[in-house]
């Protein structure tokens, strides 16, 4: 009986390796882009969810609720939003976490290069009517720009409108393109 031997020739093996290399060369950049998009969307959704949580809590408890940047997760700090944030019921309205004001929500490091804002540098304060307040009662709107290493063309914008309801968009409130540092 004769047995036929099967196997690959060197040419067939090199051809298979070349095809796999080409497929990986096409797939890896797409996979990297998908991973970065996924990470950025996750941070944007976490920020948006925290804003909704703070707004709902302010309405439900009929009290001011503050959302502020924090890297420690225990008190408001003069850090950037991309280092994390927390939400607490600010019963005395002083913008700081006091002993009788428990922290209700803590969000960790964002993994983004930057989260910048002109209006909400120190905190977002939700009033009992659900509207946001910045430095004064008259200022009710604002935005935060979320950027990663890909720059402004991939940035997302968290916008708080007059009603206090937050949303995510690709453009600023005035319709212009966002800028990343």
12-169, superfamily in CATH? Answer: minor pseudopilin epsh domain (3.55.40.10)
Please provide the average confidence, as pLDDT, over all residues in the chain: 86
Most confident of 3-12, 24-33, 69-78, 170-179: 170-179
If one counts every other C-beta atom within 10 angstroms of the C-beta of residue 119, the result is 16
- Which comes out higher in pLDDT, residue 135 or 151? 151
pTM of the model: 0.80
- Inform me whether the pLDDT recorded for 121 exceeds 90: no
Name the residue among 75, 93, 96 with its Cα closest to residue 84: 75
Q: What are the domain boundaries of the chain?
A: 12-169
- Inform me whether the pLDDT recorded for 159 exceeds 70: yes
- Inform me whether the pLDDT recorded for 162 exceeds 70: yes
Q: How far apart are CA 136 and CA 152, in angstroms?
A: 30
């Amino acid at each position: 009986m004769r047995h036929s031997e099967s196997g690959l020739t060197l040419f067939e093996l090199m051809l298979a390796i070349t095809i796999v290399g080409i497929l990986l060369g096409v797939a890896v950049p797409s996979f990297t882009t998908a991973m970065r998009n996924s990470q950025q969307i996750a941070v944007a959704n976490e920020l948006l969810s925290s804003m909704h949580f703070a707004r709902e809590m302010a309405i439900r408890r009929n009290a001011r609720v503050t959302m502020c940047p924090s890297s420690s997760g225990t008190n408001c700090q003069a850090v950037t939003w991309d280092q994390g944030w927390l939400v607490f019921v600010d019963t005395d309205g002083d913008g700081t976490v006091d002993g009788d004001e428990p922290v209700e929500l803590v969000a960790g490091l964002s993994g983004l290069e930057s989260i910048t804002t002109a209006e909400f540098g120190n905190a977002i304060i939700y009033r009992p009517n659900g509207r946001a307040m910045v430095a004064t009662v008259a200022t009710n709107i604002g935005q935060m720009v979320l950027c990663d290493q890909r720059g402004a063309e991939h940035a997302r914008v968290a916008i708080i409108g007059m009603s206090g309801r937050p949303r995510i968009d690709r453009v600023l409130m005035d319709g212009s393109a966002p800028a990343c540092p």
